[in-house]
């Protein structure tokens, strides 16, 4: 949510990043050319940074040398954090402060808030209008009446505030009145239901979720829009959800009306799985997850996952092992649950890091899933899920990158190395390739029909008929040689991926 970082503060962050990139003095002209702004703009940013570092607890200072050319240098303690600086800029932002006051119900009205922040009413409304696209992505909008507030479902309002606080603070600050220790029993139960000890960052994430939920409950806001048969779910899973029930009954400042308790229990169960990702699951399908999914309308989650897996198998030659299939299946169950119940891009899919270092391979799979989703969304039963094409395509690619292995699911690239200087130079070239190319690759000195690329340090007449497979580089490969080689290897890898994944049942 970088909308909370205005252009001036964003420029100051960029100046600090440049100054930290090297331990030396930078001229004002050098900074202005790099950032494509005027020298006077840089000087204003520098003066503001000097003031920030003087008055704030940043353990950092700007050193100036204006005797000849105007030069500056940053001197920072090892405890200095540019992320902390960015966070302070965002939390002092007009819009962030307004959302925080709306969340805590301290916001009075736009006129009063504008006066308090020394801005005109017109400018205040203009700033609020800048938030409309983000709010719309969460299915929300402003109510500009005297009761200035967010309008939308309670599920979406909670999700928006969770996204707001988590993206701004990243778990480094607790913006809620509720004591975190009172939430620990719920975190412990989430761990029990997920069948694992949560990493520290994920515990913090769920603490923030609970901070939002408890704050809203204490203010009298309840989930009424949940697409779950809460009565059926709790009736069949009372033992597993009892700790959630006890927490809601015994630990809040207010008494939840009986007609809302079951919905809130189901909501806690929902976030337990909708935001869960594991590279490797210990379980196959525990009863609690199964009962929650069965309480959803028309069995939509399981049916949509099965529909996707069927299309995936029909449009690829990949056959996953039992463990791989189980991990992918459960992650898809969680992902489809999230996009069904929560509108708005989730940017903290922690633990999912794309392993494909080739951006072109990532691009190939993104296009692959884009086309598949366009087909899947035509089935009206699953439109509420598969219509979220932009987010699903990205996460599918990430999940697949953690599942597939080049050399196992995608054939490895076979490379032959030839050098007039013999084995010693061939071994040197082998190390260069292995250092610069991170996917699985088979390297040999043999030239046969199965070799994808022949790398040599000079042209050979005998290889003239195979020029499409030959790559000639310098005796001592340069950075340019290596870049060109990586492009060739990229092209080969993409072709191998196309042989394993295709569209519309056409190989």
The predicted-structure confidence for 409-437, as pLDDT tens digits, reads as follows 888 899 999 998 888 999 999 999 988 88
8-state DSSP, 257: P
Mean pLDDT of 278-289: 78
Whether 442 shows a pLDDT value over 70: the answer reads yes
Segment 344-356 shows an average pLDDT of 54
Q: Which helix (DSSP H) or strand (DSSP E) does residue 418 occupy?
A: strand 413-418
Q: Kindly indicate the confidence band of residue 351, based on its pLDDT and cuts at 50, 70 and 90.
A: very low
Q: What pLDDT shows up at residue 505?
A: 45
- The length of the chain in residues reads 507
3-state SS track over 214-233: HHHHHCCCCCCCCCCCHHHH
Report the half-sphere exposure of 98 (CA within 13 A, side-chain side). 23
pLDDT above 70 (res 504): no
Token pair of 383 as six digits: 């439109």
CA-based nearest residue to 212, from 251, 168, 259, 164? 164
219-248 pLDDT, tens digit each:
999 998 788 888 888 887 888 889 999 999
* Confidence at 48, pLDDT banded by 50, 70, 90: very high
- What integer pLDDT is reported at residue 339 of this predicted model? 94
What digits encode the pLDDT tens for the residues 302-347? 999 999 999 999 999 888 888 889 999 999 999 999 999 999 876 6
CA separation (Å) from 278 to 25, 282, 353, 366, 397? 46, 9, 12, 21, 15
Q: How far apart are CA 247 and CA 289, in angstroms?
A: 20
Position 506 scores a pLDDT of: 46
Mean pLDDT for 107-116 is 87
The model's pLDDT over 70-91, given as tens digits with 9 standing for 90+, comes to 888 888 888 888 888 888 889 8
SS (HEC) of 352-367: CCCCCCCHHHHHHHHH
- Is 362 within 8 Å of 401 (Cβ atoms)? yes
Tokens representing residue 486 in the block: 């990586």
Q: What percentage of the chain carries pLDDT values higher than 90?
A: 47
End-to-end CA distance of the chain: 41
CA angle at 56 for the pair 54 and 61, rounded to the nearest 5°: 40
DSSP 8-class letter at 457: S
- Is the distance from CB of 10 to CB of 2 less than 8 angstroms? yes
| pLDDT-above-70 percentage for the chain | 96
Q: Tell me: the pLDDT tens digits for 10-38? A: 999 999 999 988 889 999 999 999 999 99
Q: How confident is the model at residue 353 (pLDDT cuts 50, 70, 90)?
A: very low
166: number of CA atoms within 13 Å, CB side?
23
Q: Is it the case that residue 204 has pLDDT exceeding 90? A: yes
According to DSSP, the residues that pair with 151 across neighbouring strands are 141
Give pTM, 2 decimals: 0.85
Q: How sure is the predictor about 216, in pLDDT bands with cuts at 50, 70 and 90?
A: very high
pLDDT at 135: 92
- Ordered DSSP codes for 12-38: HHHHHHHHHHSSS-EEHHHHHHHHTS-
C-beta atoms surrounding 308 within 10 Å: 24
For 162-184, what is each residue's pLDDT tens digit? 999 998 888 788 999 999 999 99
- Given a contact cutoff of 8 angstroms between Cβ atoms, the answer to whether 500 and 407 are in contact is no
Q: What is the pLDDT of residue 355?
A: 52
Q: Which helix (H) or strand (E) is 415 found in, with range?
A: strand 413-418
> pLDDT band at 349, cuts 50/70/90?
very low
pLDDT at 354: 47
């Amino acid at each position: 949510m970088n909308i909370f970082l205005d252009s001036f503060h964003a420029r100051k962050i960029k100046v600090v990043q440049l100054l930290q990139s090297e331990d030396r003095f930078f001229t004002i002209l050098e900074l202005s050319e790099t950032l494509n702004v005027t020298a006077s703009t840089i000087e204003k940013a520098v003066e503001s940074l000097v003031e920030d570092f003087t008055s704030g607890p940043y353990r950092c200072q700007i050193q100036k040398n204006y005797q000849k050319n105007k030069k500056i240098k940053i001197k920072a303690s090892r405890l200095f954090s540019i992320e902390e600086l960015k966070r302070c800029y965002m939390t002092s932002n007009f819009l962030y402060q307004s959302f925080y006051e709306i969340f805590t119900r301290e916001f009075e009205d736009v006129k009063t808030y504008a006066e308090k922040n020394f801005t005109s009413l017109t400018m205040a409304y203009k700033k609020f209008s800048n938030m409309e696209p983000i709010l719309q992505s969460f299915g929300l909008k402003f109510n500009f009446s005297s009761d200035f507030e967010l309008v939308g479902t309670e599920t979406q309002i909670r999700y928006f505030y969770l996204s707001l606080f988590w993206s701004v603070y990243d778990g480094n600050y607790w913006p809620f009145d509720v004591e975190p220790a009172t939430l620990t029993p719920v975190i412990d139960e989430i761990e029990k239901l997920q069948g694992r000890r949560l990493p520290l960052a994920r515990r913090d994430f769920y603490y923030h979720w609970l901070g939002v939920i408890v704050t809203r409950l204490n203010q009298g806001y309840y989930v009424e829009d949940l697409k779950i048969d809460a009565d059926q779910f709790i009736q069949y899973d009372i033992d597993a959800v009892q700790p959630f029930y006890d927490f809601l009954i015994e630990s809040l400042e207010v008494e939840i009306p009986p007609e809302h308790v079951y919905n809130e229990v189901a909501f806690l169960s929902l976030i337990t799985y909708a935001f869960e990702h594991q590279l490797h699951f210990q379980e196959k399908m525990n009863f609690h997850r199964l009962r929650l999914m069965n309480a959803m309308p028309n069995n939509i989650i399981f049916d949509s996952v099965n529909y996707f897996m069927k299309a995936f198998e029909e449009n690829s030659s990949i056959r996953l092992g039992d463990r791989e299939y189980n991990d992918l299946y459960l992650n898809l169950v969680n992902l489809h649950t999230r996009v069904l119940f929560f509108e708005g891009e989730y940017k903290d899919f922690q633990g999912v890091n794309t392993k494909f270092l080739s951006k072109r391979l990532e691009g190939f799979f993104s296009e692959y899933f884009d086309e598949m989703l366009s087909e899947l969304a035509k089935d009206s039963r699953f439109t509420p899920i598969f219509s979220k094409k932009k987010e699903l395509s990205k996460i599918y690619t990430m999940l697949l990158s953690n599942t597939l292995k080049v050399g196992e699911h995608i054939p490895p690239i076979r490379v032959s190395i030839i050098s007039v200087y013999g084995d010693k130079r061939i071994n040197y070239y082998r190390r260069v390739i292995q250092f610069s190319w991170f996917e699985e690759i088979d390297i040999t000195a043999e030239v046969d029909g199965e070799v994808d690329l022949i790398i040599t340090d000079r042209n050979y007449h005998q290889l003239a008929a195979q020029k499409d497979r030959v790559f000639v580089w310098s005796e001592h490969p340069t950075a340019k040689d290596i870049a060109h080689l990586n492009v060739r290897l990229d092209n080969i890898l993409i072709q191998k991926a196309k042989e394993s994944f295709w569209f519309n049942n056409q190989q």
